[in-house]
Structure 1
Amino acid sequence: MRRSLTTTVALVTTTLTLLATAGTAHAGSWTHRDARGDVFRASMSDAVATADPADRTSDITRFGVRHSARKVTLTLSLRDLRGGSAMTLGRLVTPTNDYQATVLRSADLRVFSLVDTADETEELPCRGKRASYDNRRDRITITIPRTCLGSPTWVRAGAGYARGDLMSLDENSTMTFDEALRRGSKRSVTQTDTLKVGKKVRVG
């Protein structure tokens, strides 16, 4: 199976430039089970990708959002979380703004960026934001204080995960990618250059 990767590559490229998207809902939380085996792989220079169902290290299986009085927490569960160069993307839509959170980690670099997509010229100050990787539980957790998001009454969130030498200038360098709220198919990547978001999660 092959599909267009134009917008995914554009999303990754834009993020790196800034650094030099059905479930069950409850009060204050929302969870979604993502399809297994829907990872795709492509070179950083290509506009098409091939499905890579055997890849476990980029395969998101579950995505959760918790909206408490003080913070918003995004949790990604993967089939087999490992070390190495990777980028975790989070999108948070509020009643007034649209934010992108990016966590880039490699052997010699760790960056956590939060930007308002309406004005991507600089990173937003956000004291208290943090990200953690639990390889034993195959889980990534991103925490953002509500004050950094304007203390919204609700949020809608989405996420994606990419692995590979994302900072490489080698055109033959490859990456694997999975998006939490889109199943692996030709419709997985839209023309909006943004991650798909889930249901409204009101502060609980």
Structure 2
Amino acid sequence: MRLRPALATLLLSSALVSPLLVAGAAHAETWSHRDAVRDVVAVSYVDDDMEMTPAPRNRRADVRRITVDHGAEELRITMRLRRLTGGNKIVTSTVRSSGRSIAHASLVRGDGKNHLDVQAFEEDGVVRCRGAEGVFRPRRDTVTLTIPTTCLGEPDWVRVQALYATFSNDPSTDTAMMDDPLRRDFRSLTRNGWSPRIHVGS
């Protein structure tokens, strides 16, 4: 799996950018948001400068809907794509909660294999979450991240950020196609889109 270090850092760390937090409306157990179509952006580096270009014809990275199910035992984040195909791709999500302050999940598909990493950031260090799962389902055009709520401190509520991107295995191509289903304006990568508070279901 080949990816320029600067671009890889952007993809893996973009979900950790500090957001401007605002009060969100309360929701019970399940929350779903329909993303705009044809809002994919091509992100590339030219002479170490990042360039962003709209890519409305790209279907492989275009998220149609994000759904978050907050149960007592697990948090499930599902994104539905316009077209989920083979090739290299990455899904990242950050979770803020009433329990532990933040957790970060990344699911990378590269070299024909899936690589999942879920970490919770605590005051005394980083804890890797056991029991987490990440699944691509091409027939359904969906990708799902499942995180045990014990890893989140069994919170009363969560807020979720997510990002989906595809990238080439060609070392001469230094471009990723990206979509943040919760961002209203993708011209700035320093402000992430976030869900409202999603309360645990009974």
Matches within 5 A, 1:51-90: 51-90=54-93
One-letter amino acid matched to 1:145: P
Whole-angstrom distance in 1 between the partners of 2:200 and 2:136: 25
Q: Which letter does structure 2 place at the counterpart of 1:62?
A: R
Residue type at the aligned position of 1:99? A
Counterpart CA distance in 1 for 2:25 and 2:136 is 24
Q: In the TM superposition, what is the alpha-carbon distance from 1:39 to its structure 2 partner?
A: 0.2
Q: Distance in 1 between matches of 2:115 and 2:8?
A: 19
Deviation at 1:93, TM superposition (A): 0.6
Aligned with residue 139 of structure 1, among 135, 139, 142: 142
Matched, 1:114 2:113: no
Alignment match, 2:168: 165
- Per the alignment, residue 3 of structure 2 pairs with none
Match of 1:127 in 2: 130
Divergent runs of 4+, >6 A = none
- Point out the more displaced range, 23-32 or 47-56: 23-32
Q: Shift of residue 12 of structure 1? A: 1.6
Deviations 1:64-105 (A, max 9, x none): 111011100001001001111110011111124112110011
Separation in structure 1 between the aligned mates of residue 137 and residue 56 of structure 2, nearest angstrom: 23
User: Does the 8 Å CA contact 2:29/2:200 hold for their aligned counterparts?
Assistant: yes
Match of 2:198 in 1: 201
Distance apart, 1:49 and its partner CA: 1.2
Q: Structure 2, unaligned stretches of length 5 or more?
A: 1-5
Contact 1:128/1:144 (<8 A) preserved: yes
Code of the aligned partner of 1:182: R
Please give the root-mean-square deviation of Cα atoms over the aligned residues, in Å. 2.8
Distance in 2 separating the partners of 1:86 and 1:185:
19
Contact 1:90 1:159 in 2 (8 A): yes
Shift of 1:159: 0.8
Task: Confirm whether residue 30 of structure 1 aligns to residue 34 of structure 2.
Answer: no
Identity of aligned residues (%): 32
TM-score, scaled to structure 2: 0.79
SS in 1 for 2:128: coil
Residue 41 of structure 2 corresponds to which residue in structure 1? 40
Deviation at 1:9, TM superposition (A): 7.1
| TM-score, with structure 1 as normaliser | 0.79
In the TM superposition, what whole-angstrom CA distance separates every residue of 1:12-48 from its partner, at most 9, and x where no partner exists? 2647xxxxx9x99742011111110000113245412
2:109 is aligned with what amino acid?
Answer: R
2:58 paired with 1:50:
no
User: Where does the alignment leave 5 or more consecutive residues of structure 1 unmatched?
Assistant: 1-6, 16-20
